[in-house]
Each structure stands twice: as C-alpha cells, then as structure tokens.
Amino acid sequence: MATENAELKKEKEEAGRKKKKFPLKVIIIVLMVVLLLGGAAAGYFLFLGPKMKSAGEGSAAKETHQGKESAQAASAAGPMKALDPFIVNLSDADGSRYLKAVMQLELDNAELDAEVTAKMPQVRDEILTLLSSKTYDDVATVAGKRVLKREIIGSVNRYLTTGHVVQVYFSDFVVQ
C-alpha cells in the first residue's frame, strides 16, 4: 500500500507539473503575438506615417507655387482644349513602331483657349517633334508617360503668354 500511495503521489505531481507548463506556454505565446502586433503597428506609424504626411505637405507647396488661387479653385479642373490625334513614328532602331496619341490640355484660364487656337501650328509642331523623338522604351511605362506629359507641358508653355497649360490628359495612347 505504501508503494501504491507513493506511486499515486508521483502521478499527481507529474500531472500537476504538466498542468503548470501548459498555461505558461499559452501566456508566452499570447505575449509574443501581442509584442509582434505592437511592433508592426509601431513600424507602420514610424515609417509610413511620415511619408503620408510629407505627401500632404508636398501638395500644399504645389498649391502655393501655382499662384494665389484658393484651395477650392486649385482642386477644380480648368478649361480643356482638345487636340487632334497625333500619329508619329517612334525613333527606334528598326523604325517600325508608331505612336498614336489623343490628348487634351488643361488650361489655367478660359482666355488661354483663344491663344492656343491661334498658336496651334506651333503647339502641334512642338508636340509632334517631341513625340517622334521618343523610343518605345521611353513611352511604354507609366513613369515614361508621366515624363512625356511634363515635357509636353513645358514645351507648349514656351509659346503661351496669357497663361499656361496645367496638365495633359491622354484620352488615347496606342503604340504598335
């Protein structure tokens, strides 16, 4: 009997040890998950938060640079000037690719429409020259199209005196 009691005590102690280890493991796992989630949240706010804030500051600086327009006027689109389609050969080595682009110019004021119409030969010539100087690699990516838009804005604005082109919108862009 004494040996049976000793064996029962040993079994109870082992069962007690197993029960004590299980909650300790659960607590450690829960603590690790909480720390991991806290670290992810801290990383998000430390690294992505400043980028979002600086993007907002950049747009505010851009509005200040554009002039003394109110924030409401700056967010509204200006008058649009539709241009006839442009079809040009790209300056690739084999010379077999062409580009068809239909675009609209966003103007900063309504009076500029008459000036753009009067200077349409210079505007079209400038855009045709610019488009035909590009290769397929230049215009195949989104970044390349954005660069092309900035170049078009800069080249057209050289001819304008009563205002300037704010943005270029492609309504059709085909490279073949």
Q: How far apart are CA 32 and CA 23, in angstroms?
A: 14
- Residue 104 Cα distances to 7, 40, 56, 133, 152, angstroms: 91, 44, 27, 20, 11
Query: What is the per-residue pLDDT across 127-155, written as a single tens digit (0 to 9) for each?
Result: 999 999 999 999 999 999 999 999 999 99
Q: Is the dihedral of CA 40, 41, 42, 43 positive or negative?
A: positive
Q: What is the pLDDT of residue 39?
A: 85
Identify the band that residue 57 occupies on the pLDDT scale cut at 50, 70 and 90. Answer: low
The label of the residue with tokens 């197993």 reads 18
156-169 average pLDDT score: 93
Identify the band that residue 61 occupies on the pLDDT scale cut at 50, 70 and 90. Answer: very low
Q: What is the pLDDT of residue 96?
A: 85
CATH top-level class of 77-175 = alpha beta
SS3 content of the chain, % helix, strand, coil (to 5): 60, 15, 20
**Paired tokens of 145:** 């199209």
Judge residue 123's burial from the number of C-beta atoms within 10 Å of its C-beta, 0-12 exposed, 13-18 middle, 19 or more buried.
buried
Q: 38-52, 57-71, 78-92 — which is least confidently predicted?
A: 57-71
Closest CA to 103 of 115, 116, 94: 116
Identify the band that residue 72 occupies on the pLDDT scale cut at 50, 70 and 90. Answer: very low
Domain extent listing, the chain = 1-74, 77-175
Q: 69-73, 109-113, 161-165 — which is least confidently predicted?
A: 69-73
**Paired tokens of 122:** 């210079």
Q: What is the pLDDT of residue 68?
A: 46
Percent of the chain with pLDDT over 70: 74
Does pLDDT of 90 surpass 60? yes
What DSSP letter does each residue of 66-124 carry, written as one string? H-S--HHHHHS---EEE---EEEE---SS---EEEEEEEEEESSTTHHHHHHHTHHHHH
Q: What is the pLDDT of residue 71?
A: 43
Average pLDDT over the chain, rounded to whole? 81
- Residue 147 Cα distances to 85, 94, 167, angstroms: 19, 24, 12
118-124 average pLDDT score: 94
